[in-house]
């Protein structure tokens, strides 16, 4: 188990180059065994650079070469163990006239190079008094090239942490002492593109000291708990090769697949972020000219892993960017490998109460049933002893089974003749008749104690269109869907994937299946996140109609998803503001046991 130790942060603006026209922030997070160095550069394209070194390592910058964009114009006194950089390369605007929320090569789009924005300090680099956080906010304005103009605020807020906790603001990502949180805000963006259904996307460049022959990986993880991000049960991780194969090494990006479209974030004021595949950077010279990555790696940059990806903001039927003229996306840049979310103490207490109490009730109920069954057997034995009919009859003394002349009886304990297990005595005929299905018989009369049975090949069997009850003491008629029933086998013997609902006492389809009115059978429903061709493929039951839709979730990929205004919990879509009443199967079983006892 890895122990998370707090780090002390120190920070500097334009370290050693105060008189030069650059916009560079340097943060140093010192731990007991190593040091993390962060450089936040807004001189041209916004770039976040991190390097892990041994302790007592210093940063050196050749200011003149740095301004000129010369390779290897900054380095460290000791060679870094690992390095990684993330660059916001372009802001992309696309005209989503078909409202698919997917950016494809053929869609009309305009790219705005991030270096052509004028980056200004909105909130200066400051740190907390305890030295555990440091933050900076930069805003890009006044984009104006020969044929493109952009107004509004393109802001980037960076925060470094020296401790582990969830952020105070939604989506409340879990940061560690190895994390930098980046929040990108697009506010009142207006362009001369002429687009009426504008959405925005970002092109990101990733550079790591891994080999160029390797590749990073995008992983979508599901979470069990939405305590910190209500309604969001998934997480996206972009892991460098070293983070994939070596614990606590490498680097990764992490975010929830959600953006917020107002300054007051909530699930009702949210939309989605779509992630596209990683590709290798081919045009190295143009992409990295004057970049912070080139200033560190120099001409050797081509030997390292250079990748790019795109993320787009918005989802189907969210009203496009123009609805609120505001979008904010938050993600983490981390050293190491992703950590799993942990349940809080409150959630653990609720789970213990929710599972522990039903377990105790079930144990008490089971104990009561055992005692009751033992008492009933004693009463039956006493009743049998009353039917003494003479030598060899039921209740007579005996040593061997042959001493007992009553049909289907035996010598119990070498002392007394009694009916075999599963049989009961009939005084009128002096015969022990079967009281359970599937016991031996000689003729149909032997099975007369059981309704709807007959003797088949020496065994009491249920008649056609009848099935054994769970306790095998009766044969119940087979039932079809919506007809009254008592036990599951009445339904499942006629129709697969059906059971007897204990509340309505009717045959119904199992969860995940629905009644096909034409074939009169239970067929599987399309589940959330499963492939689909149209919304009708997803709306296969009345309770989910109007709540789901067939939505594009990738290039040439459609899946069943909750509609706008609904959120997913346990593969069910619920209206925003109406959380479902959840009761576990264990709790329900326990309550029914107690009710039966009473």
Tens of pLDDT along the chain (598 residues) come to 343 445 778 999 999 999 999 999 999 998 888 999 999 999 999 999 999 999 999 999 999 999 999 999 999 999 999 999 999 999 999 999 999 999 999 999 999 999 999 999 999 999 887 878 999 999 999 999 999 999 999 999 999 998 889 899 999 999 999 999 999 999 999 999 999 999 999 999 999 999 999 999 999 988 766 676 777 889 999 999 999 988 889 999 999 999 999 999 999 999 999 999 999 998 888 889 999 999 999 999 999 999 999 999 999 999 999 999 999 999 999 999 887 766 555 556 666 777 777 888 888 888 888 877 776 555 554 444 444 434 567 778 888 888 888 888 888 887 888 888 778 777 666 778 777 788 788 888 878 777 788 898 888 888 888 888 877 777 888 776 667 888 888 888 878 888 888 778 888 888 777 776 665 677 776 677 778 777 877 776 666 778 888 888 776 778 888 888 888 776 778 887 655 444 444 444 444 454 445 4
Sequence-distant (≥ 6) Cβ neighbours of residue 419 within 8 angstroms: 384, 394, 406, 408, 409, 425, 432
Sequence-distant (≥ 6) Cβ neighbours of residue 421 within 8 angstroms: none
Neighbours of 86 (CB within 10 A): 23
Report the alpha-carbon distance of residue 500 to residue 482 in Å, rounded.
9
Task: Identify whether 313 is part of a domain.
Answer: yes
Q: Which of 472, 526, 464 is nearest to 493 (CA)?
A: 464
Tokens for 495, please give them.
Answer: 């129709």
Based on the fold, state whether residues 295 and 188 are members of the same structural domain: yes
Task: Identify whether 248 is part of a domain.
Answer: yes
Tokens for 248, please give them.
Answer: 């606590």
Tokens for 315, please give them.
Answer: 């989802």
Report the alpha-carbon distance of residue 9 to residue 30 in Å, rounded.
7
Based on the fold, state whether residues 304 and 372 are members of the same structural domain: no
Based on the fold, state whether residues 107 and 141 are members of the same structural domain: yes
- Point out the domain boundary residue: 342, 371, 406: 342
pLDDT of residue 509: 83
Range of 397's domain?
Answer: 387-423
Task: Identify whether 564 is part of a domain.
Answer: no
Based on the fold, state whether residues 85 and 99 are members of the same structural domain: yes
Report the alpha-carbon distance of residue 218 to residue 211 in Å, rounded.
18
Task: Identify whether 199 is part of a domain.
Answer: yes
This prediction has a pTM of: 0.61
Residues in the chain: 598
pLDDT of residue 526: 62
Number of domains in the chain: 3
Based on the fold, state whether residues 35 and 178 are members of the same structural domain: yes
Based on the fold, state whether residues 392 and 303 are members of the same structural domain: no
Based on the fold, state whether residues 282 and 217 are members of the same structural domain: yes
Determine contact, residues 155/25, Cβ cutoff 8 Å.
no
Q: Which stretches of 193-344 are DSSP H helices?
A: 241-245, 284-288, 292-297
Task: Identify whether 316 is part of a domain.
Answer: yes
Based on the fold, state whether residues 330 and 353 are members of the same structural domain: no
Report the alpha-carbon distance of residue 23 to residue 159 in Å, rounded.
16
Tell me 319's DSSP state.
-
Report the alpha-carbon distance of residue 545 to residue 571 in Å, rounded.
14
CATH of the domain at 241: 2.70.98
Based on the fold, state whether residues 290 and 240 are members of the same structural domain: yes
Task: Identify whether 333 is part of a domain.
Answer: yes
DSSP one-letter string for 493-512? TTSTTEEE-TTT-BEEEPTT
Determine contact, residues 337/250, Cβ cutoff 8 Å.
yes
Report the alpha-carbon distance of residue 543 to residue 539 in Å, rounded.
9
- Point out the domain boundary residue: 423, 450, 484: 423
pLDDT of residue 350: 64
pLDDT of residue 587: 44
- Point out the domain boundary residue: 423, 450, 478: 423
Task: Identify whether 468 is part of a domain.
Answer: no
Based on the fold, state whether residues 359 and 237 are members of the same structural domain: no
pLDDT of residue 519: 58
Task: Identify whether 506 is part of a domain.
Answer: no
Report the alpha-carbon distance of residue 573 to residue 569 in Å, rounded.
7
Based on the fold, state whether residues 300 and 353 are members of the same structural domain: no
SS3 166: strand
Determine contact, residues 566/575, Cβ cutoff 8 Å.
yes
Report the alpha-carbon distance of residue 111 to residue 148 in Å, rounded.
9
Based on the fold, state whether residues 296 and 366 are members of the same structural domain: no
pLDDT of residue 516: 66
pLDDT of residue 510: 83
């Amino acid at each position: 188990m890895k122990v998370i130790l707090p780090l002390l942060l120190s920070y500097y603006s334009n370290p050693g180059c105060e008189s030069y026209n650059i916009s560079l922030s340097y943060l140093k997070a010192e731990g007991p065994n190593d040091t993390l160095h962060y450089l936040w550069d807004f001189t041209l394209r916004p770039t976040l650079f991190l390097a892990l070194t041994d302790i007592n390592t210093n940063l050196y910058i050749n200011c003149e070469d740095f301004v000129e964009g010369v390779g290897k114009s900054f380095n460290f006194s000791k060679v870094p163990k690992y390095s990684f950089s993330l660059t916001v390369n372009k802001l992309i605007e696309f005209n989503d006239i078909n409202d698919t929320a997917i950016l494809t090569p053929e869609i009309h789009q305009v790219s705005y190079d991030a270096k052509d924005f004028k980056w200004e300090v909105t909130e200066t680099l400051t740190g907390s008094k305890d030295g555990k956080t440091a933050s900076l906010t930069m805003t890009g304005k006044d984009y104006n090239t020969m044929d493109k103009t952009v107004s509004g605020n393109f802001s980037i807020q960076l925060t470094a942490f020296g401790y582990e906790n969830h952020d105070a603001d939604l989506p409340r990502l879990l940061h560690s002492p190895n994390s930098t949180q980046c929040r990108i805000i697009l506010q009142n963006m207006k362009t001369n593109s002429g687009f009426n259904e504008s959405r925005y996307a970002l092109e990101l460049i990733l550079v790591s000291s891994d080999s160029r022959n390797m590749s990073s990986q995008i992983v979508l993880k599901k979470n069990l708990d939405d305590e910190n991000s209500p309604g969001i049960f998934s997480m996206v991780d972009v892991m460098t090769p070293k983070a994939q194969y070596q614990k606590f090494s490498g680097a990764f990006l992490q975010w929830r697949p959600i953006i917020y479209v107002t300054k007051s974030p909530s699930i009702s004021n949210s939309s989605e972020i779509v992630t596209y595949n990683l590709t290798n950077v081919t045009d190295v010279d143009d992409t990295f000219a004057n970049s912070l990555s080139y200033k560190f790696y120099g001409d050797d940059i081509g030997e390292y892993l250079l990748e790019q990806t795109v993320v787009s903001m918005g989802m189907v039927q969210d009203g496009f960017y123009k609805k609120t003229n505001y979008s904010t996306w938050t993600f983490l840049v981390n050293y190491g490998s992703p950590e799993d979310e942990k349940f809080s103490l409150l959630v653990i207490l609720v789970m213990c109460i929710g599972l522990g109490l039903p377990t105790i009730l079930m144990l008490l109920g089971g104990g009561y049933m055992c005692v009751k069954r033992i008492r009933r057997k004693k009463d039956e034995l006493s009743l049998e002893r009353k039917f003494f009919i003479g030598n060899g009859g039921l209740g007579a003394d005996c040593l061997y089974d042959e001493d007992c002349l009553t049909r289907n009886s035996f010598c119990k304990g070498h002392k007394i003749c009694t009916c075999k297990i599963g049989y009961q005595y009939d005084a009128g005929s002096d015969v022990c008749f079967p009281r359970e299905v599937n016991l031996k018989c000689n003729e149909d009369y032997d099975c007369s104690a059981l309704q709807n049975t007959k003797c088949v090949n020496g065994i009491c069997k249920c008649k056609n269109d009848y099935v054994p009850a769970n306790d095998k003491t009766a044969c119940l008629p087979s039932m079809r869907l919506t007809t009254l029933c008592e036990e599951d086998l009445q339904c499942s013997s006629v129709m697969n994937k059906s059971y007897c609902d204990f509340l309505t006492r009717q045959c119904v389809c199992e969860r995940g299946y629905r009644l096909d009115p034409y074939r009169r059978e239970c067929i599987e429903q399309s589940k959330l996140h499963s492939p689909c061709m149209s919304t009708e493929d997803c709306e296969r039951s009345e309770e989910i109609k109007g709540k789901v839709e067939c939505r594009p979730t990738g290039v040439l990929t459609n899946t069943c998803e909750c509609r706008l205004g609904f959120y997913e919990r346990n593969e069910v879509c619920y209206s925003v503001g109406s959380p479902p009443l959840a009761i576990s199967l264990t709790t329900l079983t326990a309550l029914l046991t107690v009710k039966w006892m009473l």
